[in-house]
A and B are shown apart, each in its own frame.
Chain A
Amino acid sequence: MKISYRWLARHVDLSGASAVDIARELTLSTAEVEGVESFLPHLSDVTVGHVVHREKHPDADKLSLCRVDVGQGEPLQIVCGAPNVRAGLTVAVATSGTTLPGDFKIKKSKIRGVESNGMICSERELGLGVEHDGIWELPAGLAVGARLGAALGLEDWVIEIDNKSVTHRPDLWGHRGIAAELAAILRRPLKPLDLTLPATGGGAPVGVRIESDACSRYLALRVEGARATRSPLWLKSLLLAVGQRPIDLLVDLSNFVMLDLGQPNHLFDARQIGSQGIVVRKARAGEVLKTLDDVERKLEASDLLICNGEEPVALAGIMGGEGSKVTDDTAQLVLEVAAFHAPTVRRTSARLGLRTDASARFEKTLDPELVPRAAAHLVRLLQVEQPEVKLAAPATDVGQWTSAAKTIRLRGERVRMLLGADLDDAAITDILVRLGFGVAKDGDALAVRVPSIRGTKDISIEQDLVEEVGRIYRYGNIPEIPLAGILVPPPRDERRRLVRRIEDRLAGSARFHQQISYSFVPDTTILKLGLQSTPHVEVLNPITEGASRVRRSVVVSLLPLLEPNRRRAAEVRLFEVGKGYEPVGGAEPTERHEVALVLARPARKANARFDDTSLALLQGVVEDLVRSLGFEACAWSRCEGTASWAHPGRATALRIGSQETLVGEVAAIEPGLARALGLSGEIESDVALARLSVDALLGATPRARRYSPLPQFPATRVDVALALPSERSAGEAKAALERSGKGLVSGLELFDVFTGERIGAGRRSLAWHVTLSAPDRTLNEADVKKFLERVEREAVQLGGELRRE
């Protein structure tokens, strides 16, 4: 919202306070100021000139050759094309070096062979209007050579207020409201303004019938003899300063009153209202109204309409109907000033995407007491410009409204406690009185009378008044007070501790990069995963079409990142700790805390080691992670019922602890998905994915870390290879070796897996480094021999044999 400094000065004496000063005061006490700009700064470069001589251009019929006195030395020779230029006129001259709006630089030039030293300007060229019927004929008597802005009193600054910072203050949506704030801050009086309706004739008033409680007050007033003439300069320039395009006196005054008092209003051509009078009612479903902006609006039963009897003529509080425009032949007007139900206006305006200066104000809940005041203001301003304007009939002022004025009990003690400031009751009273509140004693507290204009929305309880006192007193004057009290360590947040350890391990020794992703999953990903029919938490108004679903699992967020990153680097290691949501009908969704990991590497070479796969590596990372968290027994098994991203034949489940709690799954990527994600062909990739449940890890009990004595006797290492039928798992082989050790196996490491002719068809060989040790003695040849004999028997039982390496 733009506020004009000069406009404010109509309401409060601003001498000694610059626009920048005011901006700072408002910032610290009232609202956020986004900037201060000079209004039409070139007006102080343009000079008042006097045309001392005019003759026809020797070489062009439509051009004039003028000599213009600009108060400096010899009169300037200027070529002018305007039909109304003539000797004796006082004009606005842009001399060479001046820049006019549109970055139009005035330079000395030759026009049709004749030198021209500047330009005599029209109002439009100066940015002051739309008229372009010749140069601007300034009032005679302006000092020649004076700066135009100063000479006409047009110098102004525009203060931009952040609308969001005043959504709670309907009173600040007009200049007088801002001026009242400044009056309180600067300790200056607000200038009086006569807002009583002038005397009216005794004719028949406009009939008004309110059929909806969404209109609490409606004032209609017949205005006779008003004409849509051009607005005077003072009015045009103020409107221009705040970004309003001047149209004609009637429209401009209507806008002026809105921007001055914050109360929107509307002028109808009386012929439109006709004899049936005004009816304020809710729309009927399917009803249509073409608004002033020439758009057909489909209405709903919640919309409020102004009708001439039956036909709608305006969308209440938002915009007039197309036919309601005041035209040149309008002889009689009907002025509408009303109070509408804020949410009704807000909902209609939001639904239609039609936000106007009027709707922005109405949706803030305006003071119904403003209604007659705004009407009076408009009529009085109009009569100054057009004294012949008459009010033939009394105003119709109907409705059921209640004043928002109220009295609130305020305890000085409460003010001092909440602000932490040492303000006595007298200082509190002083501030409130300056803000226009009435203050009386109420026992040991204060009875504060809140005027209606402040009471509609912002001020309803004691704490609201504390804010009033604080902001005028200035928060910067409040001393800082350290928080005191008995410090009790907050309860240990186990999940946060666990997550930190997970993050540290993965970003540390595992060398993964942590990612934090959007929670929304693009439909393209959903389709690739085939999850279209899986229920998701879904937003109704996604940021882009096709990104409405909220992830159920964090892994899904990492999938789209694989291809672009793999394209840039051979190896991609990413993890994310986050939340997934599963919808629950009728209640809040189930929230899951998860760790997701992805590892993508170039496709595996044919001669790579058996465990040189992304899946094996990622299992290693996950196992290390889980061990680092204190979980000892890790058991891998084939994963049944795999996730949509997991390779159905190459998925593993990890269980930990004596309860064999399932904490997650690690799998190669589903092969079709890999192709859909672009991880085949040019950047053929070996991809593994993992999902760990933070909730499951939290639920499992880690083994308490305990020291185990270092072995006192040296261990013996023996390598064994078991050639077993292919369907025998490594897990079975491992168990067989452990059994054979009878407690002496202290280390088992698989170092080779191979198949081939030497082993025999349908068999594969698993080669292990086995470490044997005993706590109480050094093992000897005989121990090893017995071990190998037992291994041999186990191997045979498994349908294979022991191969001595």
Chain B
Amino acid sequence: MTHDAASVRALLGEILAALASAPESDETRSLRERLERFVAHSDDALTPAVLLEASAAPLGAMRVFPKEARGLVGSKANAIKQVAEAALAAEKEAALAQALAAERSGAGFDATLPPPHLACGSLHPITQVTRELEDLFTSMGWTILDGPEVETEHFNFDALNISPDHPARDTMDTFWVRTAPGDTRLVMRTHTSPVQVRAMRRLQPPFRAIVPGKVFRNEALDASHEHTFHQMEGLVVGKHVSVGHLIAAMKTLLRGIFGREIEIRLRPGYFPFVEPGFELDARCPFCTEGCSVCKRSTWIELLPCGMVHPNVLKAGGIDPEQWTGFAFGLGLSRLVMLRFGIDDVRHLLAGDVRFLEQF
């Protein structure tokens, strides 16, 4: 009840008073009775619809009123109509508010109903990590190079200072490719390092390059050994490039990979194509006291690196007296496993969608 029933009755009373001055007739009587019924309505019964009727009754029977009263009756009846319309609008608004409130209550909504499964695609984890590293290095002006997976013996070994009788050839567990006697001898490349010499022959020093790619070793498979895995070679050739530069570059690399400063150490390592050669250990990013990843040593053997051997520079047509350089070989597969906590290297290339869709 938004309107004032008393004022409506007062208005009706004034109309009835005007009616009293009208000559008696059936019409007059009938109108009076109707108006009196409205006056007699309880407050609740005076709904906006009833009020509309109450206003329409005198307006529809205006000619029974004396001429001089018609103006007054009209204004009173319109006043009742306005009250009715205002009440109607208020009622409508209240109903809307109620409806909105009901809608907003969220009754019957189950937030835990599973949404439809839109199976999305995925980039291979090796691709993801490779891209991160490519972006990191290109942002520092390094070039990205590619090289063949089926490589010549020359680039895979000889040009890298690994002579035919070098014991390192045994430790490389090489897959040899069937070739006719006298033809260029081919191997499945055992490392991304052959691209070092290919790069030297193509690019003019100074240059900086990385080479991500697939490599092959004839090794028995287990959770940590694969015959096919991914590496990323890095090579810098320039004036006065030193071990100090190598250390700085490796620290930058690790900052890029782990997103924070990582302590490193270089210790001697032997690789025929670098001199001096190093193994680079990183302080274990997963623990401070020793964990399963670092085999309780707090150091992770991360990558072999070193200063490019003068013989390799010569094989690439670069004068080792004029130029020096450093190189490193990052185990991408291993890094991917570290990054995502993958416990078995064999998952990487197995092509099980249940594995791939996790990335």
Contacts and interface: CB of A to CB of B under 8 A. Distances in A.
Interface of A: 27-32, 164-169, 342-343, 346-347, 350, 363-364, 417-421, 461, 463-464, 466-467, 470-471, 475-476, 478-483, 485, 487-491, 493, 495-496, 500, 503-504, 506-508, 510-520, 537-543, 550, 558, 560-561, 564-565, 568-569, 571-574, 579, 581, 585-589, 591
Interface stretch (B7-15, B20-28, B100-108, B244-252): B244-252
B313 to A, nearest CB: 10
A574 B121 CA distance: 9
Interface stretch (B81-89, B180-188, B283-291): B180-188
Given A485-B238, A519-B216, A539-B178, A513 B244 contact: no
A475 B121 contact: no
B71 interface: no
B276 interface: yes
B265 interface: yes
Contacts of A538: 177-178
A421 B307 contact: no
**3 closest residue pairs by CB, A with B:** A420-B244, A420-B242, A467-B276
B126 interface: yes
Contacts of A463: 275-276, 307, 309-310
B354 interface: yes
Given A32-B267, A513-B356, 14 more contacts: A165-B279, A167-B270, A342-B165, A478-B242, A483-B238, A495-B146, A504-B123, A516-B230, A519-B228, A538-B177, A543-B220, A564-B352, A579-B149, A586-B183
B128 to A, nearest CB: 9
Given A511-B121, A541-B176, A589 B186 contact: yes
A541 B218 contact: yes
A519 B217 CA distance: 12
Nearest to B351: A561
Given A419-B244, A463-B307, A579-B149, A164 B171 contact: yes
A32 B144 contact: no
Contact of A508 (B121, B167, B356): B121
B20 to A, nearest CB: 68
B165 A513 contact: no
Contacts of B171: 164, 167
B138 interface: yes
B357 A513 contact: yes
Contact of B270 (A166, A520, A579): A166
Contacts of B176: 539-541
A516 B120 CA distance: 18
B345 to A, nearest CB: 12
A491 B143 contact: yes
Contacts of A506: 121
B142 to A, nearest CB: 7
B353 A574 contact: yes
A491 B278 CA distance: 31
Contact of B170 (A350, A508, A539): A350
Nearest to A570: B119
B275 A464 contact: yes
A364 B167 contact: yes
A488 B348 CA distance: 36
B165 A475 contact: no
Contact of B351 (A417, A475, A504, A558): A558
A503 B134 CA distance: 15
A701 to B, nearest CB: 22
Contacts of A512: 121
A792 B351 CA distance: 52
A631 to B, nearest CB: 21
B193 interface: no
B268 A485 contact: no
A483 B251 CA distance: 12
A701 B129 CA distance: 30
A464 B148 CA distance: 31
A503 B270 contact: no
A167 B167 contact: yes
Contacts of B31: none
Contact of B183 (A417, A419, A585): A585
A122 B310 CA distance: 59
B127 interface: yes
A343 B269 CA distance: 23
Contact of A588 (B141, B152, B219, B248): B152
Given A419-B243, A420-B244, A500 B131 contact: yes
A244 B141 CA distance: 54
Contact of B121 (A476, A489, A510): A510
Contacts of B118: 511
B45 interface: no
B204 to A, nearest CB: 11
Given A27-B267, A510-B121, A475 B141 contact: no
A488 B141 contact: yes
B235 interface: no
B236 interface: yes
B180 A586 contact: yes
A596 to B, nearest CB: 12
Contacts of A550: 149-150, 177, 188
Interface in B330-344: none
Interface string B60-88: 00000000000000000000000000000
Nearest to B155: A588
Given A350-B170, A464-B275, A519-B214, A479 B244 contact: yes
A560 B352 CA distance: 11
A466 B266 CA distance: 15
B349 interface: yes
A568 B122 CA distance: 18
A480 B247 contact: yes
B196 interface: no
A769 B351 CA distance: 41
Given A463-B309, A510-B121, A513-B121, A585 B150 contact: no
